[in-house]
Chain A
Amino acid sequence: MVEAAVAMDHAGHAAPARGLTRWLTSTNHKDIGTLYLVFALVMFLVGGAMALLIRAELHAPGLQLVNPGFYNQILTVHALLMVFGAVMPATVGLANWMIPLQIGAADMALPRLNLFSFWLLFFASVLLTSTLFLPGGAPAAGWTLYPPLVLQSGSAFPVAIFSIHLMGASSIMGAINVIVTVLNMRTPGMTLLKMPLFCWAWLITAYLLIAVMPVFAGSVTMLLTDYFLATSFFNPAGGGDPVLYQHVFWFFGHPEVYIMILPAFGIVSEIIPTFARKPIFGYDSMVYAIASIAFLSFIVWAHHMFTVGMPVAGQLFFMMATMLIAVPTGVKVFNWTATLWRGSISFEPPMLFALAFLFLFTLGGLSGLMMAIAPVDLQYHDSYFIVAHFHYVLVPGAVFAIIAGVYYWLPKWTGHQYSVRLGQWHFWLTAISVNVMFFPQHFLGLAGMPRRIPDYATPFADWNAVSTIGSFVFGFAQLLFVWLVWRCARGGERATAQVWDGAHGLEWTVPSPPPYHTFATPPELR
């Protein structure tokens, strides 16, 4: 019986199952990685379509396309889908594909958990999106779900909360899997400080996830009991405090932004050395910088709340702690620049996106530093300046790094080289339009335009129109990317094992595409 089961298990492991069964039941890290990445791409397009609807409505003053209530719903769902459906799953997909290949492991440590966490995320995202079509509609209080406003949601509210619970559970499982894999399955000789920086970034991200996702689950559960069971956690009439929610939410929410950006740091730290043909500058300080950023991310949360009326001591503490983040972040930026220095640089699509990340993430970081200054944040807060800032760190920050990672590893995954020319077109259209879209939003915010409004005063019209033009160019440019990935998956010039002449690491020692099972025996470290 046991023998039969083992034999079957082996049969199942030898080659991928055929057709749909493979994609529904596979526990192979490469298949699950692909599922995560494809899913993230689809969610990126769905969330992007919502963004285009928002930008279309904002193209000119007056209400043309949607009513204000629905506007708030798509605003909320756009944000939640982009965070939990697109950016996070994309980095999980990259982790699934690359961590075992980079550390010489046969698979993730917990393959069935891996499968479970993907399908939880899939159905959670479907549930969340479905609230747009349910009675009462989707939550309309912004992705931060602040009470008391969020408690005015319609009858679909528990569906949205449940979907967030599922997403959180999925993230925690994924994080456990990464930690267990990285800590236990490195090939002999690969000490922690010899590990690729992408694995380091993900290891620390995974700890952040485990620490804060339960906090988020707890806070939305309190929303649920306030809604249904007449508890008064956040209801002042019953002795509760709406600001308590904000503290708990941002205790999750601030590490969450690093959950999205640390893997991006890891990806960029892989790509820049490859195309500068030089090892990363200051490897150790890169690791310590990630760790310090992760630590600081736990003690800065109330900088999202400078206008709630905090005591002076609180404002001073959160301002200074936030400013401190600039130090390790600066170390990373300077180390990347030093990696370029005296290198031999070429500009293939992954490098183009990584370099755009380097410039534009730094720009977003600098506007973040301005916002850390509590007294001036009283002007910036909840204005389009903030919208510009976080889109700079999320789109040309996290999303560009993810796209760079896909361009970097796509030939490895598919065994085909893609059209570099098409990749360059995609890059230039994307990199120019992202600035046309988001840079004017700095101006709008400084001039006094609040965020999360469906209609605005006429002096704001010009820059909104510019931003909308940028958004449509950006949106449609991503279809080039979809086309490129599709074509690369179907065929093309054969890729070598090393793919890029400057690439180093275990993932480049296996053939392209890698066999379904790699590193059945741990590889030798050179």
Chain B
Amino acid sequence: MLRRNLARFAIAALVAALAATPAAADWSLLNLPRGVSELSREIYGLHMLMLSICTTIAVVTFGAMTVALLRFRKSQGAVADTSLVHDSRLELVWTVIPVLILVGMAVPAVARILHIEDMSGSELTIKVTGYQWQWHYEYLGRDVAFFSRLARSSDFARQPGSGIDPATVENYLLDVDRPLVVPTGTKVRLLLTANDVIHAWWVPQFGMKRDAIPGFINEMWFRIDADRPGTYRGQCAELCGADHGFMPIVVVAKSPAEFVAWLEQQRATLARPE
């Protein structure tokens, strides 16, 4: 009796703990973002395809296991059929069907890879350099370059014993002093490298990340939808030392006209003697 009560209590406590904590959860945070670029939507679509295929496989496999576990219980008087140890036809079936499923998965994936790697026709090139622990952006051929680092508000709050509640800081750890500004509806190519250790540039809304490696130059591209100007946030994704968690990426997407105006203003500011 006592034992049963204890078990009940343990289960109730566990359920309560589970139910209480995610009560405030934002349910949109359960999946990949669909994103705001043509690549990100393709990648999201591929992700959803893979997720549904894998979920289907899981339901079928787990279903078969569960049926076996329920139907063939010794406690229900099940007697083992010890002759069932081999079945070539069945084994062939569950070798061939997975191969076919894999082929079905590979075909769209190959198309996506080719699209991702097609750097041709870019209209703006930005060189991105990772530093411990900040990003440097250089608009190639446009005479604009600057560093971008964690915003002061987050930097104060993140110090151990700061006494500042991160919840009160706007965009805690996802805000920078100077965001990268890019035009919408334009194929933007990034050239990625690093000054010290390997970093990785990742904005989930753009669908992908790529490593910034010292001594080497990597490429990636994105084209933000013309109707989706806004602010998009990400983080360094490759462990790069103590402050790896504190080098966010913020991209502000403006319409091409506003972008040109912004670029002009930056050039003017940079050209003005201090």
Contact = CB atoms under 8 A, between A and B. Distances in A.
Interface in A72-113: 72
Contacts of A374: 109, 113
B86 interface: yes
A45 interface: no
A453 B200 contact: no
A236 B216 CA distance: 8
Interface stretch (A28-36, A295-303, A337-345): A337-345
Contacts of B69: 340, 345, 355
Contacts of A363: 58
A458 B74 CA distance: 50
Nearest to A468: B21
Interface stretch (A141-149, A198-206, A251-259, A397-405): A141-149
Contacts of B9: none
A446 B61 contact: no
B241 A457 contact: no
A105 to B, nearest CB: 26
Contacts of B26: 459, 462
B158 interface: yes
A218 B196 CA distance: 24
Nearest to B51: A370
Interface string B67-81: 011001111001111
B140 interface: no
A356 to B, nearest CB: 11
A344 B216 CA distance: 60
Given A359-B62, A443-B29, A148 B50 contact: no
A432 interface: yes
A352 to B, nearest CB: 11
A278 B80 contact: yes
B68 A344 contact: no
A461 B50 CA distance: 27
B101 to A, nearest CB: 8
B137 interface: no
Contacts of A473: 14
A69 interface: yes
A241 interface: yes
A504 B40 CA distance: 54
A378 B105 CA distance: 16
Counting chain A residues whose Cβ lies within 8 A of the other chain, the interface size class is 35 or more
A455 B245 contact: yes
A315 B46 CA distance: 16
Contacts of A465: 21
Given A334-B94, A338-B90, A359-B65, A376 B216 contact: no
Interface string A471-489: 0010000000000000000
Given A62-B157, A456-B173, A319 B81 contact: no
Contacts of B260: none
A278 B43 CA distance: 45
A376 B211 contact: no
B102 A327 contact: yes
Contact of B102 (A237, A324, A340, A358): A324
B191 to A, nearest CB: 11
A320 B106 contact: yes
A67 B244 CA distance: 12
B33 interface: yes
B121 interface: no
A381 B210 CA distance: 9
Contacts of B41: none
B172 A340 contact: no
B110 interface: yes
Contacts of B58: 362-363, 366
A313 B105 CA distance: 17
B61 A333 contact: yes
A63 B159 contact: yes
A463 B22 contact: yes
Contacts of A185: none
A337 B68 contact: yes
A315 B58 CA distance: 27
Contacts of A243: 213, 216
B31 interface: yes
A427 to B, nearest CB: 13
B239 A452 contact: yes
A346 interface: yes
B215 interface: yes
Given A382-B200, A462-B21, A281 B86 contact: yes
Contact of A463 (B25, B90, B105): B25
Contacts of A344: 72-74, 78-80
Interface stretch (B163-171, B178-186, B264-272): B163-171
Contact of B219 (A309, A346, A454): A309
A22 to B, nearest CB: 40
B24 to A, nearest CB: 6
Interface in A377-403: 378-379, 381-383
Contacts of A379: 32, 43, 47, 204, 207-209
Nearest to B82: A278
A326 B80 contact: no
Contacts of A67: 160, 242
A454 B173 CA distance: 11
A411 B265 CA distance: 78
Contacts of B219: 309
Interface in A285-339: 285, 307-309, 312, 315-316, 319-320, 323-324, 326-327, 330-331, 333-335, 337-338
18 contacts: A63-B159, A68-B245, A149-B198, A149-B240, A236-B213, A282-B91, A309-B210, A320-B106, A340-B65, A355-B69, A363-B58, A370-B47, A378-B208, A382-B200, A450-B236, A455-B246, A463-B29, A466-B21
Given A312-B117, A382-B238, A456-B173, 14 more contacts: A69-B242, A241-B216, A242-B215, A307-B200, A307-B237, A315-B113, A344-B80, A363-B58, A378-B210, A382-B202, A446-B30, A452-B244, A455-B166, A473-B14
The 6 closest A-B pairs by CB, nearest first: A236-B215, A453-B245, A378-B208, A375-B112, A309-B218, A342-B81
